[in-house]
Amino acid sequence: MKMADTGKREVCEDADETCKPTAAKRPKCGAENQPDCDGGGECANVLSGFKVKSVLRDSARDKTIFIHGTVEDQEAVVILEKTPMRQDDLAEIFQECRLKLQMKNDIYSTYQLQPPAHLNEIKTTVICPATQKHVKKYLSQEMFLVEETGEDYLSTTLPYIESQSFSVQWVYNILEKKAEADRIVFEDPDPDTGFVLLPDFKWDQKQLYDLYLIAIVHRRNIKSLRDLTSDHLPLLRNISKKGKESIQKQYGMPACKLRVYLHYQPSYYHLHVHFTSLNYDAPGCGVERAHLLTDVIMNLEADPQYYQNRTITYTLRADDNLLLRFREAGRC
């Protein structure tokens, strides 16, 4: 089951990624006859036959490990992520935990703490069958900074995008209510200025600290930030206003506690806007990728063609085919 940014609905961080960044996919790896477990009940262990090939990346900071292997002879990527502790669980953790002393020095002591089993969960994302692109996506690699001019976009980036088969059918499934309809928090059905708002699968919805929602526009002719002009200001203002109002109403989080932004390069080429809690250091919220929606609106108010002309700086992984295009053009 692919969950993401990561699941969860998993966000595809690479510009050449064809996987679905924000939608759940039921695996075929030994799970064809497994009971449905969307209701919160326990599922049969689809990982019982998982055979490890390699560890692609291990992030001690994020307490996440990315593993490549096979399930019933199908390639798979498994992501294990330690779930955050919640304040409501602390009393039970302290009362029922097991402690093993590691070190004591004067007033300082450290222990290995084993909490109750039901409070010691690991969030698990399974991508199966996984393609080589999925494996490369999670492999630890060097990053390179690219300065893309408006001319670079037209001569290098856009032809690359158009030459690839970046499927966004999963997006259309959401917009047409063929999938994930029960997860939609808010919808404005207007074909020009409307959008759907739903939680990203990186957010387990158990606490507001890491709140993360995605607004996906109904219009199908806007690939990314580069396509935006002043003609799209009504759409962007509507997303900003109604998205914030909906989150305030649904979750009680005011606009002043939200980070609202677009990615460039995006994970997938259908315009979408990220809403995250300011407390959450969400993947891709750094200055080399995130563009605040308020800034985008003001830039287009000042210059209707701002994003057609400006130089946009972003990072690409060493194995990204778009990076190869820039190198061939002598731009990196």
- The model's pLDDT over 169-192, given as tens digits with 9 standing for 90+, comes to 999 999 999 999 999 999 999 999
Q: If you average pLDDT over residues 49-78, what whole number do you get?
A: 90
Q: CB of 76 within 8 A of CB of 51?
A: no
Which pLDDT score is estimated for 123?
A: 86
The yes-or-no verdict on residue 17 having pLDDT over 70 is no
Which pLDDT score is estimated for 13?
A: 39
- Report helix angle 293-302 to 233-251, nearest 10: 160
Q: If you average pLDDT over residues 97-108, what whole number do you get?
A: 92
Task: Name the band, by pLDDT with cuts 50, 70 and 90, for residue 136.
Answer: confident
- The CA-atom distances, in angstroms, between 212 and each of 13, 16, 136 are 16, 24, 25
Annotated binding-site positions: 170, 180, 200, 202, 263-274
The yes-or-no verdict on residue 137 having pLDDT over 90 is no
Which pLDDT score is estimated for 60?
A: 78
- Mean pLDDT computed over every residue of the chain: 86
Q: Quick one: DSSP state of residue 25?
A: B
Which pLDDT score is estimated for 249?
A: 97
The two tokens of residue 177 are 């209510």
Is 0.75 surpassed by the pTM of this model?
Answer: no
List every span in the chain annotated with CATH 3.30.428.10. Answer: 142-328
Which pLDDT score is estimated for 3?
A: 34
Task: Name the band, by pLDDT with cuts 50, 70 and 90, for residue 35.
Answer: very low
Annotated binding-site positions for substrate: 170, 180, 200, 202, 263-274
The yes-or-no verdict on residue 88 having pLDDT over 80 is yes
Which pLDDT score is estimated for 26?
A: 41
**Closest by alpha carbon to 243, among 219, 216, 204, 278?**
216
**Closest by alpha carbon to 65, among 76, 75, 54, 74?**
54
Buried b / exposed e over 79-106, threshold 16 CB at 10 Å, is: bebeeeeeeeeeeebeeeeeeeeeeeee
In the residue annotation, 218 being an active-site residue is answered as no
Residue 275: phi and psi, rounded to 5, are -120, 115
Q: CB of 289 within 8 A of CB of 314?
A: yes
The two tokens of residue 225 are 């930030």
Residue whose structure tokens are 């985008």 = 296
Range list of β-strands (E), the chain: 51-59, 64-71, 74-82, 98-105, 108-114, 122-127, 143-148, 186-188, 195-199, 212-217, 258-263, 272-277, 290-292, 312-317
The yes-or-no verdict on residue 61 having pLDDT over 50 is yes
Out of 46-55, 90-99, 197-206, 292-301, the most confident range is: 292-301
Least confident of 31-45, 142-156, 157-171, 250-264: 31-45
249 against 9, higher pLDDT: 249
The yes-or-no verdict on residue 318 having pLDDT over 60 is yes
Q: Which of 68, 134, 232, 272 is catalytic?
A: 272
Q: If you average pLDDT over residues 238-267, what whole number do you get?
A: 97
The yes-or-no verdict on residue 19 having pLDDT over 70 is no
The yes-or-no verdict on residue 82 having pLDDT over 50 is yes
State how far the Cα of 229 lies from the Cα of 76, in Å rounded to an integer: 41
* SS3 of residue 295 by DSSP: helix
Sign, CA dihedral 262-27-62-98, equals: positive
Q: CB of 316 within 8 A of CB of 15?
A: yes
% of the chain with per-residue pLDDT over 70? 87
Which pLDDT score is estimated for 28?
A: 52
Query: Does the domain made of 142-328 have the CATH classification 3.30.428.10?
Result: yes
Which pLDDT score is estimated for 42?
A: 66
Which pLDDT score is estimated for 120?
A: 87
Phi-psi region of 40 (alpha: psi -120 to 50; beta: other; left: phi over 0): left
Q: If you average pLDDT over residues 1-28, what whole number do you get?
A: 39
251 against 10, higher pLDDT: 251
